[in-house]
Structure 1
Amino acid sequence: MEQAIFFDTLRQGLWVALITSVPILSVALVVGLVIGLFQALTSIQEMTLTFVPKLAAIVAVFWMSMGFMTQTLVSFFHDRLIPLIISG
């Protein structure tokens, strides 16, 4: 396999990984900031207060974006990786 094809496939794979992880990471960031601000304003330093809502939000967003993630990964494998394996 040529280096250009390898690096282009690697670049596309990293882009797919970034695109599929953005919804979960952004929700975790927003929920973490909101809970942190709430804790700072109320002086409540309970560890489960940060963990449980963030986990619930991440699970909810993962459940809602599962179809998008699956479609993105399947199209990457179908359009990019399988033709490389067949030709190779």
Structure 2
Amino acid sequence: MPPSPFATRWSRPIRKSCGCRCDMDENLIFDLVRQALWIAVRMSAPLLAVALIAGVAIGLFQALTSVQEMTLTFVPKVGLMLAVFWVSMSFMTAILSGFFTEAVIPLIAGN
């Protein structure tokens, strides 16, 4: 007998061995994880790009001048990464909040 079109989420029969009434399947979970990984890449790209460029520039400077100071590699990299993080924080927040409002919260709410 097919379920009633007026059935709510909680009146659906239990189909899983765990006892849950959710309609999530593997494809939906894989798609959500794929989206989350892509968002993680987009959020970390500015910081990683600045760290890469600063590391190459400082390494080139050290090789050309024969200065082998450890703080010369650490302090500018950290300073630049903090500056880029501060500038791109609104971008990262917008991406993450958009992902949660468009993908995660509707799944939790059951829409």
Fold shared per TM-score above 0.5? yes
Helix, strand or coil at the partner of 2:56 = helix
CA distance in structure 1 between the partners assigned to 2:108 and 2:29 by the alignment? 12
RMSD: 0.9
The answer to whether 1:4 aligns with 2:4 is no
Aligned residues, how many?
A: 88
| CA-CA distance at 1:52 after TM superposition | 0.2
What amino acid sits opposite 1:2 in the alignment?
D
What amino acid sits opposite 2:46 in the alignment?
P
**26, 31, 34: which is aligned to 2:54?**
31
CA distance in structure 2 between the partners assigned to 1:36 and 1:44 by the alignment? 10
| CA-CA distance at 1:69 after TM superposition | 0.1
What amino acid sits opposite 2:104 in the alignment?
L
| CA-CA distance at 1:16 after TM superposition | 0.4
The residue aligned with 1:13 is: 36
After superposition, residues 1-88 of structure 1 pair within 5 angstroms as: 1-87=24-110
CA distance in structure 2 between the partners assigned to 1:46 and 1:87 by the alignment? 57
Gaps spanning 5+ residues in structure 2: where?
1-23
CA distance in structure 1 between the partners assigned to 2:88 and 2:100 by the alignment? 19
CA distance in structure 1 between the partners assigned to 2:67 and 2:93 by the alignment? 39
Structure of larger gyration radius? 2
Helix, strand or coil at the partner of 2:68 = coil
Gaps spanning 5+ residues in structure 1: where?
none
Relative to the length of structure 2, the TM-score reads 0.78
Segments of 4+ moved more than 4 angstroms: none
Which of the pair has the greater relative contact order for Cα pairs under 8 Å at 6+ separation?
1
User: How far does the alpha carbon of each residue in 1:4-47 deviate from its partner, in whole angstroms, 9 at most, with x for none?
Assistant: 00000000000000000000000000000000000000010000
Q: Once the two structures are aligned, what percentage of the paired residues are identical?
A: 57
